[in-house]
Amino acid sequence: MSERGAAGPGPAAIQVSRIMRPDDANIAGNVHGGTVLKMIEEAGAIISTRHCNSQAGEPCVAALARVERTDFLSPMCIGEVANVSAEITYTSKHSVEVQVNVLSENILTGAKKVTNKATLWYVPLSLKNVNKVVEVPPIQYARKEQEDEGRKRYEEQKLDRLETKQRNGDVIFPVINPDRQTKEPHTVGYSQSSLIHLVGPSDCTLLGFVHGGVTMKLMDEVAGIVAARHCKTNIVTASVDAINFHEKIKKGSVITISGRMTFTSNKSMEIEVFVDADPFVDEPQERYRAVSAFFTYVSLSKEGRPLPVPQLLTETEEEKRRFEEGKGRYLQTKAKRQAQMQRAAQQ
């Protein structure tokens, strides 16, 4: 792994590189989306923690609060090098926005391609008191417009996080070993899956709570299982909707990561993933919702070409409602992508 400095509007940007190994990928050789998300978060945590400790003040560690929608632009394979670059683009009084780009590099041919672009938000927590958010040193902007645009993004994500938290009372009952023979293929119940994980020291930051990248990797694993059970082909992560970290997860907690299919188009699947935490045995706190997100997957042939996705069969009114909501998100994203392509063609 390597790291180097670069020029940027705020503190020096950083780059982290690592070669992709067999245990980073699925059986088809495609690198797991969760592996890439974990690398993105590690780079973001390094640069934001470094910046928040750049001035005299209370020592702190940056904690991930939110990841904006992330698209997986092209698959990465075993043997390629992931080059992850991170740069701080905006700071508020108590938060840091980090822009991260990921390039895959074929070290045999030298060919490079952009695989991911992500925006992450961090908050600095005091080393002395994990519940205390400290102030963030401001950065210098090259232009006044950069600060105004950053402030607009800050207000938008703040509002979206609030709306997400308000609808976050939904429940997915853990399904560890369901009797799938009693369920109809391509239904929500057939592919629904859960994973239970005990949070250990290697999962945690200096403050004893889980790294955001560890959580995202587990979420991607569960979403991938749901997608694979639904279509029974090779699947890859296509995008991740905004991931909101509502509460910290402490060392010693038992977390349940649950995923269910919500929507299918002709060539994509949307999976809703929740992370619920049961605190350490000595703590009075009840189980709580820690993280939530929507993952989108596509099905690929052996040659890496998109395959049709079996239509999701909805059985209850709740499943039909979630399907229509997913359809709305799909159409909205499709319209945005088409508008971006039109603007790019006109330039």
Supply the residues annotated as catalytic: 26, 220
Q: Tell me the Ramachandran region of residue 57: left when phi exceeds 0, alpha when psi lies from -120 to 50, beta otherwise.
A: left
DSSP assignments along 225-263, one per residue? HHHHHHH-SEEEEEEEPPEEE-S--BTT-EEEEEEEEEE
3-state secondary structure of 133: strand
Sign of CA dihedral 113, 118, 123, 127: negative
3-state secondary structure of 62: strand
Beta strands (DSSP E) in the chain are 2-6, 13-19, 60-67, 70-72, 81-91, 96-105, 112-126, 193-198, 234-240, 243-245, 254-264, 269-278, 288-300
Output DSSP code: residue 31: B
Q: Which residues contact 55 (CB under 8 A, 6 or more apart)?
A: 137
Give Cα separations from 125 to 11, 138, 177 (angstroms).
19, 16, 38
> Within 13 Å of residue 229, how many CA atoms lie on the same side as its CB?
25
What are the φ/ψ torsions at residue 216 (nearest 5 degrees)?
Answer: -65, -35
Q: Which residue has the tokens 């080059």?
A: 83
Q: How many CB atoms sit inside 10 A of residue 30's CB? A: 21
Q: What is the dihedral of CA 247, 250, 256, 259, to 10 degrees?
A: 40
CA 98 to mean position of chain CA atoms: 14
> Within 13 Å of residue 185, how many CA atoms lie on the same side as its CB?
7
3-state secondary structure of 141: coil
